[in-house]
Amino acid sequence: MTRIVVTGAAGFIGSNIVKGLNEHGIDDIIAVDDLTQGDKFRNLADLKIADYVDVDMFYDLFAEGFFGKVEAVFHEGACSDTMETDGKYMMDNNYTLSCGLFNACQEHGTRLLYASSAATYGGSQTFRESPEFEHPLNVYGYSKLLFDQRMRRDCGKDFKRIKRQVAGFRYFNVYGPREQHKGRMASVAFHQFNQFRSEGKVKLFGDYGGYGPGEQKRDFVFIDDVVAVNLWFLDHPEKSGIFNLGTGRAQPFNDVAVAVVNALRPGAGPAPLDADATAALGLIEYVAFPDALRGKYQCFTQADLSALRAAGCDHAFADVQTGVASYMAALA
C-alpha cells in the first residue's frame, strides 16, 4: 500500500490534497498539522487518514525513519500570512524546516512535492520560473524563494542530481472549499460570499497601481485544479522541477465579484449581470486602497505555464466564472 505524508493536512490546500488522495484510492495517509486552532479539525473529519501527528513531533521522527517506507510527502505546511513581519518565525517555518525535510526525503528515498508561491515574483510583470523575474515584496515571498533557490542548488541543473522526485508548485491565487479557517488570508471569493450574505453587497479596492476600481488582475485558480496537478505529478514520478500552478489567465477582481453576485443574488434570472450593472445596482462597493498594502501588493499576476506544459501536464483549468460558481454552490 502507498503511504503518503501530507503536512499542513488540516489546512486549505493540504486537506483538499488528502481528499484528492482518498478519491485516488489512497488512505494510508499520515496527516501532519498543528491543531492549536481547533476548528481546523473540520477539514479532516470527513476524510480517511491512517494517523495524525503533531507538527512539533513529525520532522524529527521522519528524519529518524519512524514512519517506515513513505512514497511521497506533500509539504503544504507553512506560515502563509503574507502580512506577517516576524522574519525569524517565517524563515524557521518556511525555510529551515523545509530544508531538513528535503534532506530526510532524499536519505529515505521519499518523493517531495512542496508548496512554493507566486509571491516569489513580487512586483515582477513576468511570471516565469527564472531568477531574473523573482523579486518578492515581503518576507513570506522571500522565504518561499529561498527554498526554491536551495532546491535549484542541491538538485542541480534540470533537477537531475537527486535520487527521488522533487517538485515545487508556485501557487497563484487559490480559492475553494475548506479555507474557512484562514481568516484574513482566505480568498477574495470567500470574503465576498460572507459580505454578500451579511450586507447584500461585496467590496473591492478602488483605483490603485494604474488600474481602475476592481480592475487589478490576478491569476485565480480553483482548488480542484491545484489538487489535480499535484496528483498528476504523483502519477509521474520522473517529473521534477519548479512549476507555476495557476490558470495562465489573469482576470480582474471585478470578475470574481460579479461571479459571486450572480451566484447569490435573490431571484437571479437567466441573464447574468455584468460588472457595470452590478456596480450600478450597488451590489459592488469600491473602497479606498489601504495604506498598509501600498508597495507590497501585486496588481497583476498571470502564470506562465510553459514549464508545466513542457513537463507533459495538459490539465485544463477552470475560469473564474466556472470555479467561483462551483465554490458558491458548495458554500451555500
Active site residues: 140, 182
Strands 29-33 and 111-117: unpaired
Element (H, E) at 167: strand 166-171
User: In the numeric block, which cell numbers belong to residue 267?
Assistant: 431571484
Neighbouring CB atoms inside 10 A of 238's CB total: 8
What is the Cα–Cα distance from 89 to 87, expressed in whole angstroms? 5
What is the Cα–Cα distance from 43 to 22, expressed in whole angstroms? 14
The CA radius of gyration of the chain, in Å to the nearest whole number, is 20
**Residue 105 zone, left/alpha/beta (φ > 0; ψ -120 to 50; rest):** alpha
What is the Cα–Cα distance from 179 to 192, expressed in whole angstroms? 13
Cβ atoms 139, 78 nearer than 8 A: no
Cβ atoms 75, 166 nearer than 8 A: no
Element (H, E) at 286: strand 284-287
CA 205 to chain centre: 22
Backbone angles phi, psi at 27, to 5 degrees: -130, 5
